[in-house]
Amino acid sequence: MNQKVKQLMARKKLRVAGLMSGTSADGIDAAIIEFDGRAVNLLAFEMVPYPRKIQNNIFELFSPETSRVDQICHMNFLLGELFAQALVGLAEKNKIPLSSIDLIGSHGQTIFHRPLGRTVNGRKIRSTLQIGEPSIIAERTGITTVADFRPRDIAVGGEGAPLVPFADYLLFSHKTKSRVLQNIGGIANLTWLEAGGTPEDILAFDTGPGNMIIDRTISLMTHGRQKYDEGGKLASRGQINEKWLKQLMKNPYFRRKPPKSTGRERFGVQFTDELYRQFIKEGISPQDILATMTAFTAWTIAEACRRFLPAKIDEMILCGGGAWNETLIGHLRLQLPQTKVATMNDFGINPDAKEAISFAILAYATIKGVANNVPSATGAKKRVVLGKIIP
Amino acid sequence: MNQKVKQLMARKKLRVAGLMSGTSADGIDAAIIEFDGRAVNLLAFEMVPYPRKIQNNIFELFSPETSRVDQICHMNFLLGELFAQALVGLAEKNKIPLSSIDLIGSHGQTIFHRPLGRTVNGRKIRSTLQIGEPSIIAERTGITTVADFRPRDIAVGGEGAPLVPFADYLLFSHKTKSRVLQNIGGIANLTWLEAGGTPEDILAFDTGPGNMIIDRTISLMTHGRQKYDEGGKLASRGQINEKWLKQLMKNPYFRRKPPKSTGRERFGVQFTDELYRQFIKEGISPQDILATMTAFTAWTIAEACRRFLPAKIDEMILCGGGAWNETLIGHLRLQLPQTKVATMNDFGINPDAKEAISFAILAYATIKGVANNVPSATGAKKRVVLGKIIP
């Protein structure tokens, strides 16, 4: 079996699958690419939504109050099965034989992330927890799998996130143009690629909420009937409440210097529910709340660029679900007038597939023994090879 | 880095460390061995007790009611640090340079184990959960680490336990003597090695409680001041309550055919506390309760031998904490008159070190690409290479 690992190490061009589920826990992104260390050829992509019941079960794991060890144990294996099924299904639909896929990179589903750590006997213990058992994925597919990328970065003093900058650099760095890769998932994160820069020049961090607050607001507005604001249409009809917008901007996260990462712990259901109650109490209409939350989310991104990036941004390349929110993009264009704001589609890469592609690329590096964290992004003290290899 | 993995694969004789913490969560067993595929040379061994507070924290994780995702996430990394420290400390004390150790096999700390699974959409999902983040161990020691052995066996339909039979066979199988390796940890498990048998002849399963019930009883008797019955002295002073002993023997686990495994879910604190209350209510003295529990534990082992092993046992080789309980051993000798009951010490292997040695041996097999589960022991449908490799 490990003969196979040896052979993988020796080959340059590999067919690699990437599996990923983000903080929103919408479903599993599965991508199959061909990669030779620089150029990506996307062969197939699909987002397989979690069944509603599973999604609810995952949400229960996020919260210390409702989480239980028996459920975490069970869901780890159940999600492993679902991750494997997502890939098997994708390969079948696209007539790609599983046996032609050399390697899988699986991020799993984050259920907890404590990048700042907790102090024990004067020592800071950072931690993160992803589930979606990779032994199941490797066994069901018969493909060597690399998973659990975040812990090794934490082991060298990093926050374990963000990890995609490594892939961003390989795919998008440009000799004469400074670029920002802006992913807007549940949480939004950017990667700064300076014109002609090296990996050492990369800056990458979570700018703050992505779709997390917007999606929850919609869900509250529609009593769960709607999960997201399609195209940003609903937000476009509301009025921004400037008083509250200013209030929201005071959150200390936006002043904290990168590297930094955040998650559901800060901008999750609790945060939005509390705000929503206060807004309603003040007589603000749901549509105006949504408009304000959308403007706020856009501001967090623009503000991060203004405050922390060292030079003019020539191009901002959007990906993630938020790249379809026209109202959000409109705000970004207004707030960053010198920057060309485009979506990743314009660069020939399906933006929805970008995260999954990134974990395929990370797995490729791991199997090659190439260090694949970006210390300037995670705060790690050194470069390391991330992940666990399941032969 | 993975160059290193390649080199490991090529060498026959390796210096390997094994790290393990059992269901009792007493502490971390750390062993360093030299191994060439058959003969073990134990270079160093130590059991590093968990600090009391940590032990209490671990116990909180065992129970669905008191477990929380934030604690599980945190403790995974904290135990990773403690596992690493245990090995670093052992190496230092014995003047073995860390750089001379080629490989680590870490079992981690089981916090939940559901070998029979839970049915989801008509499909059985088995699961198990070990913590003690191996990325931390690999980083702190600079040694390639193999960990998380159980999930891959579960992926092929096994119960993920027991895993030590693979090591037992390599170390103890004999041409003319049938042997039982009997480990008495928190849970007790045996490995049947038929005289002149092959790996296919191995039977291995959890016989039932090991020290789990005895230790908890002592703790209740002494209000937490004593953790175990040293040498079985206290039990030797009590009277066995035959009525209750017969009652206890009715537990259906003892009739269930192997392969089977069990844990704290069945014979844990809840089980003992409930029994203890009932005994006390009936006016039975604490010493008599302990005597009965000790006789019961011995019976579960002897009964498993009588009921499930296919031939006469020439030798029973004891290891684990229970191998020091003279009262328990006395019961075993009485109940198995045709069998020579000895401790592993008599065979030149420190019985306390046996479990840690086993995980060093399992890691050796994984890195060599040798299938290292025993399907007749776990119920798995096929032989697989267990574990995740952290380069």
* Same domain for A54 and A130: yes
Report yes or no: B111 and A126 within 8 Å, Cβ to Cβ: no
* pLDDT at B86 exceeding the cut of 80: yes
Overall residue count recorded for chain A in this entry? 391
Distances (CA, A) of B237 to B277, B278, B292, B294, B296: 21, 21, 11, 12, 16
Token digits for B131? 């913590």
Residues in chain B: 391
The alpha-carbon gap from A244 to the nearest alpha carbon of chain B, in Å, equals: 31
Angle at B124 between CA B118 and CA B127, to 5 degrees: 60
**pLDDT string in tens for chain A (391-residue length):** 456 677 777 778 899 999 999 888 999 999 999 998 778 899 999 999 999 999 999 999 999 999 999 999 999 999 999 999 999 999 999 999 999 999 999 999 999 999 889 999 899 999 999 999 999 999 999 999 999 999 999 999 999 988 999 999 988 999 999 999 999 999 999 999 999 998 889 999 999 999 999 999 999 999 999 999 999 999 999 999 999 999 999 999 999 998 888 888 899 999 999 999 999 999 999 999 999 999 999 999 999 999 999 999 999 999 988 999 999 999 999 999 999 999 998 888 888 898 999 999 999 999 999 999 999 989 999 999 999 999 9
B249 DSSP assignment: T
Angle at A319 between CA A316 and CA A322, to 5 degrees: 105
Compute the distance between CA of residue A265 and CA of residue A260 in angstroms, rounded to an integer.
Answer: 14
Contacts of A112 in chain B (CB under 8 A): 69-70, 72-73
Q: How far, in Å, are B155, B187, B227, B257 from residue B379 at the CA level?
A: 11, 19, 34, 11
The predicted pLDDT at position B2 comes to 58
Residue of B nearest to A129 (CA): B73
Read off the pLDDT band of B358 (50, 70, 90). Answer: very high
Range of the domain at B38: 2-161+354-390
Do A136 and A254 reside in the same domain of the chain? no
Contact (CB, 8 A) for A85 and A91: no
Same domain, B185 and B206: yes
Backbone angles phi, psi at B380, to 5 degrees: -65, 150
Whether A57 and A107 share a structural domain: yes
**Whether residue A125 is found in the same domain as residue A199:** no
Closest residue of chain A to B78, computed from CA coordinates: A125
Query: How many angstroms separate the most distant Cα atoms in chain A?
Result: 67
| Residue numbers in A near B148 (CB within 8 A) | 135, 388
Is the minimum CB–CB distance between B319 and chain A shorter than 8 Å?
no
Give me the residue from A69, A126, A140 closest to B111, CB to CB: A69
Residue B15 to residue B33: CA distance in whole angstroms: 6
Encode A264-286: b = buried (16+ Cβ within 10 Å), e = exposed.
Answer: bbbbbbebbeebbeebeeeebeb
Q: Using the beta-carbon criterion (under 8 Å), do B64 and A71 form an inter-chain contact?
A: yes
Rounded Cα distance, A329 and B148, in Å: 44
Query: A198 CB near a chain B CB, below 8 Å?
Result: no
Per-residue H/E/C for chain A: CHHHHHHHHHCCCEEEEEEEECCCCCEEEEEEEEECCCCEEEEEEEEEECCHHHHHHHHHHHCCCCCCHHHHHHHHHHHHHHHHHHHHHHHHHCCCCHHHCCEEEEEEEEEEEEEEEEEECCEEEEEEEEECCHHHHHHHHCCCEEECCHHHHHHCCCCCCCCCHHHHHHHHCCCCCCEEEEEECCEEEEEEECCCCCHHHCEEEEEEECCHHHHHHHHHHCCCCCCCCHHHHHHHCCCCCHHHHHHHCCCHHHCCCCCCCCCHHHHCHHHHHHHHHHHHHCCCCHHHHHHHHHHHHHHHHHHHHHHHCCCCCCEEEEECHHHHCHHHHHHHHHHCCCCEEEEHHHHCCCHHHHHHHHHHHHHHHHHHCCCCCCHHHHCCCCCCCCCEEEC
Q: Which pair of structure tokens corresponds to residue B109?
A: 């700390």
Task: Note the pLDDT of residue A374.
Answer: 94
Chain B residue numbers with beta carbons less than 8 Å from the beta carbon of A371 are 1
pLDDT of residue A3: 66
Which pLDDT score is estimated for A328?
Answer: 98
User: In chain A, how many domains are there?
Assistant: 2
Please indicate, yes or no, whether residues B103 and B202 belong to a single structural domain of this protein: no
Nearest to B69 among A2, A67, A118 (CB): A67
State whether B72 and A129 contact (CB < 8 Å).
yes
Which of A323, A365, A388 minimizes the C-alpha distance to A146? A388
The C-alpha atoms of residue A363 and residue A355 are separated, in whole angstroms, by 13
| Shared-domain flag, residues A157 and A73 | yes
Do the Cβ atoms of A143 and A134 come closer than 8 Å? no
pLDDT, tens digit (0-9, with 9 covering 90-100), for B265-316: 899 999 999 999 999 999 999 999 999 999 999 999 999 999 999 999 999 9
CA-based radius of gyration for chain B: 20
Lookup: tokens for A138: 């490797």
Is A70 close to B114, i.e. CB distance below 8 A? yes
Which secondary structure element, helix H or strand E, spans residue B76, and what is its range?
Answer: helix B69-93
Query: Residue A1's pLDDT is what?
Result: 41
CA distance A208 to A218: 18
Interface test with A, best of B5, B60, B70 (most A CBs within 10 A): B70
- Which three-class secondary structure state does DSSP give residue B256? coil
In this structure, are A186 and A267 located in the same domain?
yes
- Claim to verify: residue B198 and residue B56 sit in the same structural domain: no
Residue B151: which of A65, A74, A133 has the nearest Cβ?
Answer: A133
Size of interface A-B (CB pairs under 8 A): 182
Q: How confident is the model at residue B1 (pLDDT cuts 50, 70, 90)?
A: very low
B156 with B170, same domain: the answer is no
HSE-up (13 A, CA, CB side) for residue B113: 28
Taking all residues of chain B, what is their mean pLDDT, rounded to a whole number?
A: 94
Q: Which residues of B touch A76 (CB under 8 A)?
A: 127, 129
**Are residue B199 and residue B280 in the same domain, yes or no?**
yes
Residue in B67, B125, B152 closest to A68 by CB: B67
How many other C-beta atoms lie within 10 A of the C-beta of residue B378?
28
Contacts of B139 in chain A (CB under 8 A): 152, 155-156, 384
The answer for residues whose C-beta is within 8 angstroms of residue B335's C-beta and 6 or more apart is B298, B299, B302
H/E run at residue B92: helix B69-93
d(CA A33, CA A39): 10
Output B177 or A121, whichever has higher pLDDT.
B177
Contact list in A for residue B120 (CB cut-off 8 A) is 78
Q: A114 and B151 in contact by Cβ < 8 A? A: no
Question: For the domain that residue B134 is a member of, what is the CATH number?
Answer: 3.30.420.40
- Select from A125, A152, A156 the Cβ nearest to the Cβ of B74: A125
Q: Terminal CA-to-CA distance of chain B, rounded, Å?
A: 6
R_g of chain A, CA atoms, integer Å: 20
pLDDT tens digits, one per residue of B193-214: 999 998 889 999 999 999 999 9
CB–CB of A69 and B70 under 8 A?
Answer: no
CB-based contact A209:A196 (threshold 8 Å): no
Choose from A50, A52, A69 for mutation: most chain B CBs within 10 A: A69
Residues A199 and A293 in one domain: yes
- Among A9, A61, A156, whose Cβ lies nearest the Cβ of B69? A61
AA letter at B117: G
Residue A233 neighbours by CB under 8 Å, 6+ apart: A326, A327
What is the per-residue pLDDT for B3? 66
Which tokens go with B40? 């073990």
- The bridge status of strand A14-21 relative to strand A145-147 is unpaired
Report pLDDT for B326: 96
**Is B62 near chain A, with CB under 8 Å?**
yes
- Are A64 and B81 inside 8 Å of each other by CB? no
Contacts of A129 in chain B (CB under 8 A): 69, 72-73, 76
